[in-house]
Amino acid sequence: MASSYILVVDDEPDIRGLVQEILQDEGYEVETAKNGGTARDSCRQRRPDLVLLDIWMPDIDGISLLKEWKENTDNSTMGNFPVIMMSGHGSVETAVEATRLGAYDFLEKPLSLAKLLLTVEHALQAHKLDKENQGMRQQLSIADEPVGKSQANQDLAQEIKQIAQHDSRVLFVGEPGSGKSKYSRLLHRLSKRSEQPYIELGVATLDVENSARELFGSEVDGKIYYGLLEQAGLGTLYIDDIGEMDMATQGRLLSTLETGCFHRLGGSESIDLMCRIITATHYSMEQLIAQEQFKSELYFQLNVLQVKFPPLREHCEDVPDLLNYYRDRFVQQEQFNYRNFSIAALNKLRNYPWPGNLLELKNLVQRLLIVSDEENITLEEVESSIEYETQRLDKQDDSLPGNSALKTLFEHPLKEARELFEKAYLEEKLMAVGGSVGKVAQLAGVERTHLYRKMKVLGIDAKKISKKAKE
């Protein structure tokens, strides 16, 4: 697997050639640019993993180009690339200005080759770590290795390890919450792409208007947005809820997989597809195709290898290990109080059908740790929590205005529907924890100050709900 892609920008041919040769000897893929205009074109054709940028050039100075990239590249932080400045006329002021504008470091000419290689290595490592930390902040960390000793779990893990040795596209099929995302990370970590980026995309979270832009990127008036296909680079792009992708974006993705390249929206340059694509669905894809909601050609392109995920009820012997795992993770990461599951509680949960699979189990553990500080988790607590979840899924409580409005959610514009959902969600969480805003902030994964502002905007009275919860 090719290493990181580095762009060297310098108007002196000897320096460009020397730096390119040194970096290529270290295993990097290197492209050069003789001035700012050429550098712009190179970044438009392919997003680099790192740029070495000279400050003094004939057409535009490096500081101005750095500022232009930071201002005009409309991408997520994960789509950004580190820049190392180079100059033979360095000064403290110039170095400070470059750093203020977002440069990773500043190297003086003549270049120290040892320092060059060390700075390049550190910049790439820091950028990779930053992306990994963002992914960890977006969700509760889930074990790479499967938890549980059941035969179903072992068979699934072995299948993933075998598939990881190949580079074909993979389709994960299984019920919601069955662990597909966790196993996609395991597959990536075991593959030859493990040192490259891993990016997740949930199709269901995208607006139809923005889905193509998020995936393929865009170019408008020289302003570049690097889509997820480019951000993934030589790594892995995991696309969840593929069955919910709109038909127009399906068509673009199909063309990309057939030709091996794509265009950003509004762009004219052809971009090579380099990442591995893993997709996942809980739908019957054959049924979606029969209903003309999914392109059969795209399904065949994605379904080169298929992995089926068993629901948790089919390997319920793993439940005790999973309960302990999530309990320990919440204690370590969220500083929740440690609680033991009583034998009666364990037996109840081992025989529970888990319609929400691993996700339901994780949420239940979180709820049990939050609602009480008692040392042991009792059978009564578990039964109450299961009953609460069942009632929440099976019917809506009209006693709260948000839940009543939720019944007609699809009749409202998107912004209003989102507010109605947020109101219903927060009111229900407040009811579940007796009106404690702090506990709801932990459950929802948001800052308490942000939650207070949100509640004020939505007109939620925590004291009133607290009183109702105690009645």
What is the rounded distance in angstroms from the CA atom of residue 425 to the CA atom of residue 417?
Answer: 12
Give the span between the Cα atoms of 267 and 263, in whole angstroms.
6
Peptide bond into 13 cis (omega under 30): no
Alpha-helical segments (H) within 30-164: 36-45, 62-72, 92-100, 113-138, 151-164
CA distance 59 to 212: 35
CB–CB of 238/184 below 8 Å?
A: yes
Residues contacting residue 402 through CB under 8 Å, at least 6 positions apart: 420, 423, 424, 425, 426, 427, 428
Mean pLDDT in residue range 259-277: 93
Q: How far apart are CA 188 and CA 191, in angstroms?
A: 5
Q: Say what the pLDDT of residue 143 is.
A: 47
pLDDT at 469 over 50: yes
For the record, the structure tokens of 138 come out as 């977006």
- In which band, very low, low, confident or very high, does the pLDDT at 269 lie, cut at 50, 70 and 90? confident
Does residue 277 contact residue 302 with C-beta atoms inside 8 Å?
Answer: yes
Residues 11 and 54: beta-carbon distance below 8 Å? yes
pLDDT of residue 73: 56
Question: What is the predicted pLDDT for the residue at 144?
Answer: 57
pLDDT of residue 465: 79
Q: Quickly state the pLDDT bin for 102 (edges 50, 70, 90).
A: confident
pLDDT of 327 > 80? The answer is yes
pTM, full prediction: 0.68
**Tell me, what's the pLDDT at 409?**
56
Q: Mind listing the domains of the chain with CATH numbers? A: 5-137 (3.40.50.2300), 151-310 (3.40.50.300), 313-395 (1.10.8.60), 398-471 (1.10.10.60)
Q: Which residue has the higher pLDDT, 422 or 408?
A: 422
If one compares 355 and 416, the residue with the highest pLDDT of the two is 355
Write out 244-265 in H/E/C secondary structure.
HCCHHHHHHHHHHHHHCEEECE
pLDDT at 395: 46
> Which residue reads 């889905």 in tokens?
211
Beta partners for residue 224, in sequence order: 73, 219
Confidence of residue 1 (pLDDT cuts 50, 70, 90): very low
Burial code (b: 16+ CB inside 10 Å, e: under 16) for 198-236 equals bbbbebeebeeeebbbbbbbbbeeeebbbbbbbbbbbbb
